[in-house]
């Protein structure tokens, strides 16, 4: 059995070490083909989760521009939002600031037959809140001490918990933030917080390492995905989810479209219809 120090070292190495043989960017054609196959499997997973009443929590964390949003979009674009529910909480209200820290997250936990996907989660306290000075070091310490108990309670109550850290290199983060500055389609993604975060790369590294050390748990481990190639990261993470949430293919009855009714006495309305201009 690994010691805690060894486990922490292994996780840090996975997050920081460069690949022995860097792969080229995945071609869009290959990406779309594989994503279509994985989407079919996600539909099967969805049906199984509903059928068996499973409860799944998937938390996505990482630096700004690491690709969390794109990964979540790829994961959810072909499944039901009533089963795959995305939670991206705003900054806490004045009332929420007076609550127990975990209190605002618990109401969003899954019921039977639901998969909740966190676009940033309770780990805000260990990351952005700590680095940007929104939380005191004492509160961060209490958080890191309490999370193992909290997540053990989740798992013991039947929640399948998966935690992903998307690891982006400093060079790729620079490229993506520069694109947000100059690409009119992406300017909405750029916030003053992004710029402040960018300047504090190693503060985030230290916060990440502390978070792994305290919360990489045997019953709720962290999984690190390299995300310099967004397409590869999406496919790798979706494949990993399918491997870690047990499911089976449910039998399906053959579907045949019924005959459409006859027009009978129906006549097209003479009401003037305002069609959208066909410019394309």
Q: What is the DSSP letter of 123?
A: G
Domain with residue 83: its CATH number is 3.40.50.300
Predicted model pTM: 0.88
Q: Residue 46: its pLDDT value, please?
A: 98
Q: Which pLDDT value is given to residue 108?
A: 98
Confidence (pLDDT) at 6: 52
| Domain assignment present for 152 | yes
- State which residues form the domain around 101: 4-12+26-169+205-244
Would you say residue 151 lies in a domain?
A: yes
Asked if residue 17 is part of any domain, the answer here is no
- Which residues in the chain come in under a pLDDT of 50? 1-2, 5, 8-9, 12, 15, 17-21
Contacts of 85 (CB under 8 A, 6+ apart): 108, 110, 114, 115, 116, 117
Q: Rounded mean pLDDT of the chain?
A: 92
Confirm whether 165 is domain-assigned: yes
Residue 39 lies in a domain: yes
- Residue 254 included in any domain: no
- For the chain, what is the domain count? 1
What's the CA gap between 78 and 157, in Å, rounded?
Answer: 29
Q: What is the pLDDT of residue 134?
A: 93
């Amino acid at each position: 059995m690994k010691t805690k120090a060894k486990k922490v070292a292994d996780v840090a190495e996975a997050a920081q070490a460069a690949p022995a043989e860097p792969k080229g960017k995945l071609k869009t054609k290959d990406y779309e083909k594989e994503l279509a196959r994985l989407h079919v499997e996600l539909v099967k997973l969805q049906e199984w989760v509903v059928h068996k009443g499973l409860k799944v929590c998937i938390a996505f964390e990482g630096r700004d521009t690491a690709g969390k949003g794109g990964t979540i979009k790829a994961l959810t674009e072909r499944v039901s939002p009533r089963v795959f529910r995305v939670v991206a909480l705003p900054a806490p209200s004045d009332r929420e600031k007076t609550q127990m820290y975990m209190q605002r997250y618990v109401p969003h936990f899954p019921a039977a037959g639901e998969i909740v996907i966190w676009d940033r989660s309770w780990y805000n306290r260990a990351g952005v809140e700590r680095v940007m000075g929104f939380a005191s070091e004492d509160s961060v310490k209490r958080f890191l001490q309490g999370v193992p108990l909290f997540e053990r309670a989740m798992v013991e109550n039947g929640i399948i918990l998966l935690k992903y850290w998307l690891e982006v290199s400093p060079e790729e983060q620079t490229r993506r933030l520069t694109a947000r500055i100059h690409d009119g389609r992406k300017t909405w993604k750029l916030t003053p917080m992004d710029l402040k975060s960018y300047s504090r790369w190693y503060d985030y590294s230290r916060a990440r390492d502390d978070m792994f050390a305290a919360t990489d748990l045997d019953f709720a481990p962290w999984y690190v995905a390299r995300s310099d190639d967004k397409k590869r990261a999406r496919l790798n993470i979706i494949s990993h989810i399918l491997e870690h949430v047990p499911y089976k293919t449910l039998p399906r009855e053959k579907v045949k479209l019924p005959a459409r009714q006859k027009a009978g006495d129906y006549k097209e309305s003479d009401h003037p219809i305002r069609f959208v201009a066909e410019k394309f």
